[in-house]
Amino acid sequence: MNTMKLKPNAIMFTHNDLDGIVCGILFQSVIGYGAEVNYCGYYNVDEKIIKVLDHIERRTNEHPQIIISDLGIKPETAECVDRYEGEKILLDHHKTNRWIQEKYDCAIIDEEASGTLLVFDYIEGIPDRFRDFAIRVDDYDRWVHAYPDSKRLKCLFYVLGIERFVDRCLNLTNPIIFTESDELLLELGEEAIERYIHILEKGIVIYELTGDKQLGVVFADRYQSEAGHELLNRLNLDAIIMIDANNRKISMRSKPHTWAKLQNVLVVGDIKTLQWLNLITKVLSYSDSIKTTKIQSSFCVIVDNQITLDRLHKRFVFRSNCKVRFSSRRGYRINSSNSRRIS
Ligand SMILES: [Mn+2]
């Protein structure tokens, strides 16, 4: 795959996390702050791409370049992108998106690099002064931790939010050098994260699973990466599930490859819609750590029964268009005497 030389009207779709945002920063460092960057989550990326492509087709004869970074897309969306007559490239590193590369020439899925590093490598003209910045973001995103500063960069991103962080990084010669005001913000940010982790430690419920595995379940609506990994270590867990009840999202973190071993563990709730089933299939197919999926309810139970899982899975496949309700909970084995609260 060749590199891409950007034209001024290129359009980027990128993930709304640190890795994705920095893809956008690198992109704008080439063609300017006014360049169109769409920050997306997995829940709306397909919708956004389709809308923009549709608009382009109707409105103009021009075909701006399309760059999709640090995100996967649905098969229907991939079809549309493939049909799009302009130049396009999809740069991602998530294992679950490998199929896109297998099917389409415009996609590069490289698990050995973050989205940011792929953008740095495949987009021409990114100033070399951003190289170390890209390496730090890669270090954080892939949880390598060779550089202590990469964690601080993420903390600063938390404190500043997307727009201020983008402004800051584009305006500095070297975004990995922290200014005096950055240092103060970092101090406040790090304290806030630590306080939050402490609160989670009090609320977490730990389930003992077969094979002496420990699974923590906790309500958490922010700092999921930091809190997740910190709690895995502090409490010596194998995996942790963090439920963001207000945003209806669930995040999972685990020690490397633990999800594969925990295949017969599943988090389900009041299963009423398809989205829950998406969650199920995702839990089943993910074997590594970082995932986020929308859920419909803040209620959570744990299933450790493979037959139930198979049954759920089949229903998903065969009844994907209708509301799904699991009438019986007999298959669910959750034994509250096996759970313990810390504090
Ligand atoms: Mn990423």
Per-residue pLDDT of 290-322, as tens digits, reads 233 333 322 333 444 445 445 544 444 333 222
CB 234 within 8 A of CB 198: no
Residue 199 lies in a domain: no
CA of 15 to the centre of ligand 1 (A): 8
Is 161 in the same domain as 65?
yes
Within this chain, do residues 160 and 213 fall inside the same structural domain, yes or no?
no
Q: How many whole angstroms from 226 Cα to the centroid of ligand 1?
A: 15
Q: Note residues around ion ligand 1 (Cβ under 5 angstroms).
A: 19, 70, 114-115, 141
Cβ-based neighbour number of residue 318 at 10 Å? 10
Q: What is the CATH number of the domain that holds 37?
A: 3.90.1640
Same domain, 208 and 276: yes
Is residue 296 in a domain?
Answer: yes
Q: Are 138 and 242 in the same domain?
A: no
Domain membership flag for residue 327: yes
Report the separation in Å between the CA atom of 300 and the middle of ligand 1, taken as the mean of its atom positions: 27
- Asked whether the beta carbons of 36 and 12 are under 8 A apart, the reply is yes
Same domain, 239 and 308: yes
Residues 24 and 115 in one domain: yes
**217 shares a domain with 123:** no
**How many residues would you count in the chain?**
343
50 and 164 in a single domain? The answer is yes
Distance, CA 292 to ligand 1 centroid (Å)?
A: 12
In a domain, 137, yes or no: yes
30-66 as b/e, with b when 16 or more CB fall inside 10 Å?
bbeeebebbbbbbeebbebbbebbeebeeeeeeebbb
Pairwise CA distance, residues 171 & 275, whole Å: 40
On whether residue 136 sits in a domain, the answer given is yes
Q: Per residue of the chain (343 residues), what is the pLDDT tens digit?
A: 679 999 999 999 999 999 999 999 999 999 999 999 999 988 899 999 999 999 998 887 889 999 999 999 999 999 999 999 999 999 999 988 999 999 999 999 999 999 999 999 999 999 999 999 999 999 999 988 899 899 999 999 999 999 999 999 999 999 999 999 999 999 999 999 999 999 999 988 787 665 677 778 788 889 988 999 999 999 999 888 787 766 666 677 878 766 545 544 444 433 333 344 455 445 444 323 223 333 332 233 344 444 544 554 444 433 322 222 232 333 333 322 333 333 3
The answer to whether residues 166 and 20 belong to one domain is: yes
Q: Which domain holds residue 43?
A: 11-178
Residue 147 forms part of a structural domain: yes
Cα of 72 from ligand 1 centre, angstroms: 10
172 and 216 co-located in one domain: no
| E strand residue ranges, 70-194 | 88-92, 107-109
What's the first-to-final CA gap in the chain, in angstroms?
Answer: 54
Q: How far is the CA of 114 from the centre of ligand 1 (A)?
A: 5
> For residues 122 and 108, what is the distance between their CA atoms, to the nearest angstrom?
10
Are residues 47 and 147 both part of a single domain?
yes
Distance in Å, CA 224 to ligand 1 centroid:
15
Query: Is position 193 within any domain?
Result: no
Domain count across the chain: 2
Which element (helix H / strand E) includes 57? helix 45-59
Identify whether residues 226 and 164 lie together within a single domain. no
The answer to whether residue 220 is domain-embedded is yes
